[in-house]
Structures are given as C-alpha cells and as structure tokens.
Amino acid sequence: MGGTTHENNKLSIAEKRLIGIESLQWCANNAVYFLGLIGAATYDLAGTAFLVAAITLVRNLATSIGNVAAGSVIDSIGPRKTTVAVCAFSAVTSLLIGLGPITEASLIIAAAALGVSGGFINTCTHAYPGYLIATLTGRQRLNGLMVFYSNIAFTLGPIFGGALVSTFSTQSVYLFMAATMAAAGVLALGCHEVLQPEREEDAKMGILSGMVDGARMTLQNHDLRLIFISGFLGFFAFGAFDSLESLFYRDVLEVDVVWLGWLSSVVGFTSSIGAWLLTKLPDRMANLTLLLGSLFGVGLASMIYVGTDILAVAIVGQSINGLAWGFLEPLQMILVQEKAPIAYLGRIMGFVRFGLMSAGVLPLLAAPALAEAFGVQAVLFAASCIIALVGAVFFFGQVKRARSRAAQSE
C-alpha cells in the first residue's frame, strides 16, 4: 500500500489517475456541449431558442438520470468498474455520432446518450475521493487538485473544439471525444479503490430504491440537507442560461460561435485558480460558510457577465464567475464526502448531483417564452439576480448561525 501514502504531499498513483480521468472527461464533454450540441444547434442548424432549449432539456434530464442511477451502481460494484464501463460507452457512442450528419434528431440522440453517460461519470468522479483517502486534509487537496487540473482541461476542451470546428466539420468534436474518453477508460482500469465499505449482500440496490436511500440519508443530515437545498435553489436559475446563453452571444454580444468556447475557457482558467487557492486554505475553512459565500459570488459575477452588451465586461464577469466556481464545486464534493457514510456515498452523491442537475428544468422550459416577451438579456440578468439572492440568504444565515454557536461556546 505504499502508493496510497501522502508523505511529502505526494499524490498516490490512484489519485493521479483520478485527476487524469476527471480532466479528460471534462475536456471532452465541454468541447461537445458548447460546440457539438449548443453551437451546432445555434449555428449549423440556425436554431431558435426553442430548439436549443429542447436539446438542453433532453441533456439535462438524461444527465440527472445518469447522476442518480450511478449512485446504486457505485455502491454495488465500486467506482472503478463503473467508470471503466461508462468511459467505454461514451467512446463508442461519440464515435458513432461523429460519423453521422448533424441534424435535429442526431443532436437530440447525442444529448440523451451523452447526457446519461456524463451524469454517470460525474457522480463517479465526485464520489471517488471518498474511496481513496480517509482524511479531510487529503480530500481537500485531492478535490481541489481535481478541479484545478480538470478546469485547465475544461479550458482546453473548447479551444481544441473551436480549432477543430474552424478547420473541419462540427462532427470532429465528437471524434475528439471518442479518443479522449477511450484514454480515460484506460486510466480507470488501474485506479483501484483503497477504502472499501461493508456491503450488505441482501441490500436492494435498484435505481429507485437507491434514490430513496440517497434522499433519506441526505435530508436527515443537517449539513447535507443545507448543501442540497441551497444548491438546488441556486442552480434553479441556471436553467435559463442553458437555453439562452448561446443566443446571448449571437444576438446581444454579436460575436461568432468561437466566443462560446473562448469565454468558457476564461471560466475554466479562473476556476483553476480558485481551486488551487482552496488547497492552500486551512482545513477549518473548508466549511458551509465558504461554500454558500461562493454561491453568492457566482450570482454577483453572473450579473456582471450578462449585464451589458460589451464583450470586455462579459469577460470580466466570467473571470470572477470562474474564480467563485473554483471554490464552490470542490467544496460541495469535500463536504458530501465528509458527511456521507462510505457505504452510502454513491447514493448520496448521486441524489445531490441529481438535485443540482434537475433544478434547472423548469426555468429551461420557461426561458424561451420569457425571452420572446422580455428579451434574452433581461431574462439572463433576472436569473443571475435570483442566484445572488439565494446565495446571500443562505450565506448570511450561515454566518449568523456560526456566530451564535461561537457565542454559546464562550
């Protein structure tokens, strides 16, 4: 077990492989999402807000299904086997899509298939550190580094995708994803778990029963409940961005499709900085207060991002947005891994991820009609205000509770 120690802050082989898996899958999925799905619908097919919303809705629903379905599978066979299978499925599926034409039907199929696989891999990588490290210090470091490196990949994905689309057809990003996910699958083969939960042989591990278990365990724990509810309400407003963001670039900023990739890359770069800074903070600061403050920051930054029709201002907004996300995402992972019993970690993480991904469905459906009535920019700015308001309410409420507890302990 020499490879699992953390002397001199060295990462184990399994940790390095997990960082590689997370980086590769984000690189591929981000390139395909922005250029192979949203970009293709907006520019290749000259789609309306309703087409973009339909594709995004299918993807979000499929991702939510993948998130929650993965929980039971992870708790049954472990994250390694689950990750290997999902990477193989993603590679084959994206290869087949890349060899076909771009049509409305093909984009819907791609959104559904890759949404499910994306939900699976997302839950896997979010739960995986709980199977590799037992200490909070180690998990804070690994989760922070996962987001740090994966956001570099998140940045490079749209850049690679943009370069491919500028030179070849839009289908080329799907072939890029096939190669990338195949490489992730190879890494997963050797990413063996260190910590093993005691599994009950007679325990039911169906998708529905797993979701019920995950919901019950999440809602019974105060901190997990707060993570879930604040995240659900905050992510609720992001549904508007899913269906309108590409139209904001085209109709408000009036820039070419490649700027979808460039500004996404800005978020990835600054998010990496935020995640790196998180690894340098003391353990005691990796708490709910910082998590909720980060959500508040995302809302404020989003208001700057969509508040004008000036590209430079949008870049500034996205830069701040990414910095806040660099704290928000790994903190969600760290706190769930800390609070969840390892035997239920997959199901709890799956339920939390399901809640976050499904939160935006209703705004996603309503956003196109609201945009027709009030305009794309007005709807996105209102959504940003909602995110900031939710973050502020929970953040200041948590600060007040923390001060009250400190006063009582004196």
Domain map (residue ranges) of the chain: 11-191+205-409
Amino acid 205: pLDDT: 65
Amino acid 204: pLDDT: 57
| DSSP reduced 3-state for 226 | helix
DSSP run (H or E) holding 49: helix 49-77
List, for residues 138-164, the tens digit of each pLDDT value: 898 999 999 889 878 877 887 888 889
Instruction: Read off the pLDDT of each residue in 18-36 and give the average, rounded to a whole number.
Output: 92
Amino acid 110: pLDDT: 94
List, for residues 173-226, the tens digit of each pLDDT value: 999 999 999 999 999 999 999 988 866 554 556 778 888 889 999 999 989 999
Percent of the chain topping pLDDT 90 = 53
Distances (CA, A) of 340 to 106, 189, 218, 271: 39, 26, 8, 26
Nearest to 146 by CA among 127, 161, 159: 127
Specify the residue for token string 């066979």: 77
Q: According to the CATH classification, is domain 11-191+205-409 in 3.40.640.10?
A: no
- Phi-psi category of residue 223: left, alpha or beta, with phi > 0 → left and psi -120 to 50 → alpha: alpha
How far apart CA 133 and CA 198 sit, in angstroms, is: 16
Q: What are the tokens at 287?
A: 């708490």
Burial 76-99 (b: 16+ CB within 10 A, else e): bebbbbbbbbbbbbbbebbbebbe
- Which amino acid appears at position 63 of this protein? T
CB-CB contact of 99 with 374 (8 Å): no
Amino acid 117: pLDDT: 96
Calculate the dihedral angle through the C-alpha atoms of 240, 333, 324, 311, rounding to the nearest 10 degrees: -40
CB-CB contact of 62 with 112 (8 Å): yes
CB-CB contact of 346 with 75 (8 Å): yes
pLDDT beyond 50 at 2: no
Angle at CA of residue 394, ends 389 and 400, nearest 5°: 125
- Phi-psi category of residue 103: left, alpha or beta, with phi > 0 → left and psi -120 to 50 → alpha: beta
Task: Centre a 10 Å sphere on the Cβ of residue 270 and count the other Cβ atoms it contains.
Answer: 22
The residue that leads in pLDDT, 258 or 353, is 353
